[in-house]
Chains A and B, each alone.
Chain A
Amino acid sequence: MLSLKKSKGQLITVDFILAITILIFIIQLSMSAWNKIVTGLNEKDQRTEIESLALSVSHLLIKTPGIPGDWNSSDVAAIGLAEESNVLTHEKVLNFTSLDKDNAKKLLGIQNFGFIFQLKDVNGDVLVEYGDSPSNIKESVVVRRLVLYKHSDSDIGSSPGNITFMEFGLWK
C-alpha cells in the first residue's frame, strides 16, 4: 500500500520534471530568439536612421538653395548648395566647406554622426572634400548623387556646368 503510494508520487514527479524541463527549454529558446530579434531590430533601426538621414541630407544639399538663398557663413539658417535643382555653384560649395564643422552638423541635423562630403569628376578624381576623419565606425552609409557643378568663372552664366558626382557619407 505504502509502495503503491510512492510509485504514484514518483510518476507525478517525473512527469512534472519532464514538463518543467521542456517548459524551461521553450522559455530559454523564446528568450534567446526574442533577444536576437530585439538586437536585430535595434541594429536595423540605427541602420535605417543613418540611411534616411544620408538620403535626406543629400537631397537637401543638391535640391535646395539654403536659407537665405544667398547665404554665407555668418547668416546661414539652412544649408543648401543648389543654384537650381541638381546644379551646384562653386560659391555655395566654398561657403559650405568654410563652415565650422560642428555648426555644419547642427544645421544639417547630424550632430551625433561623422560625415564626409565629396565632389568627384566623372573619372573619380576628388574636386572638393569636407568633413570628419573616419574613426570608430559602427554603421556607415554613402549616398551618391549626380549634379552639374559650376566650379570656375567660365561656368558661371549660361554654361550648365560639369557633370559631377556628389557623395555624402555618414557614420556612427
Chain B
Amino acid sequence: MQTKGLAFILDALLALTIAVIILTAVYSAGPRAQRDYFIEGQLTDFANDVLVVLDKNESLSTLDVDEIESVLEEILPDSYATEIKIYSYRYASGSTPPFSLEKTVTAKYPDASMPNEFVRAERSFVTFDAGEIDRYNIAELEMWLR
C-alpha cells in the first residue's frame, strides 16, 4: 500500500516539475526575443544611413581615412562603433580582367574591437576622372553596439 502511495506522489511531483518548467520557460523566453528586433532594426537602418550619407556627401569617394573617420566621429552615437572597408578597383579598358584591385581603405571609429554580433551594410559607387569612370568601389560597413 505504501509503495502505491509513493508512486502517486512521484507522479504528482513529476507533473508539477514539468508544469513549472514549461511555465518558467514561456514566461522568461517570450518577451525577450522581440526586444532585440527593434535594436537590431535601428542599428541596421543607421548603418545603411551612414553609408548613403557618406557616399552622397562625397566623403567615401575621397578614400581618405582621416576624413572619413572625422565624419564618423561627428555622427556616430556614443553607444555605436563602426568599421568601413573600401575596396577600390581601377578600370582599364583592353586589359584582362578590366578591373584590378588598386587600393583597400579601412576607417574605424572608435578604435574598438569588433564583437561577434554586428550588422553589415554595403554600397557600391564609382569615381570619375575627367568625366570618365576610373574607379569602381565597394564599401562594406560593419556596425555594433559598444
Contacts and interface: CB of A to CB of B under 8 A. Distances in A.
Interface string A23-52: 000100110011011001101100110010
Interface of A: 22, 26, 29-30, 33-34, 36-37, 40-41, 43-44, 47-48, 51, 55, 58-59, 62, 85-87, 122, 141, 143-148, 160-161, 163, 165
Contacts of B75: 122, 146, 163, 165
Contacts of B30: 37, 40-41, 44
B38 A146 contact: no
| Most chain A Cβ neighbours within 10 Å, of B30, B41, B56, B74 | B56
Interface string B6-24: 0000001000100100010
A172 to B, nearest CB: 15
B62 interface: no
29 contacts: A26-B16, A26-B19, A30-B23, A34-B23, A36-B27, A37-B26, A37-B30, A40-B27, A40-B30, A40-B31, A44-B31, A47-B34, A51-B38, A51-B41, A55-B45, A59-B45, A86-B49, A141-B38, A143-B42, A144-B42, A146-B46, A146-B75, A147-B49, A148-B53, A161-B57, A163-B53, A163-B57, A163-B71, A165-B75
> Which applies to chain B's interface (DSSP): helix, strand, loop or mixed?
helix
Given A48-B34, A144-B77, A160-B58, A37 B52 contact: no
Given A37-B30, A86-B49, A122-B75, 6 more contacts: A26-B16, A33-B27, A62-B49, A85-B52, A141-B38, A144-B46
B50 interface: yes
Interface string B105-142: 00000000000000000000000000000000000000
Contacts of A55: 38, 41-42, 45
A30 B45 contact: no
Contacts of A147: 49, 53
B101 to A, nearest CB: 28
A22 B11 CA distance: 13
B49 A145 contact: yes
Interface string B25-52: 0110011001101100110011001101
A163 B74 contact: yes
Nearest to A40: B31
A63 B74 CA distance: 22
B113 to A, nearest CB: 24
Contact of B52 (A48, A59, A86, A165): A86
A59 B87 CA distance: 28
Contacts of A51: 37-38, 41
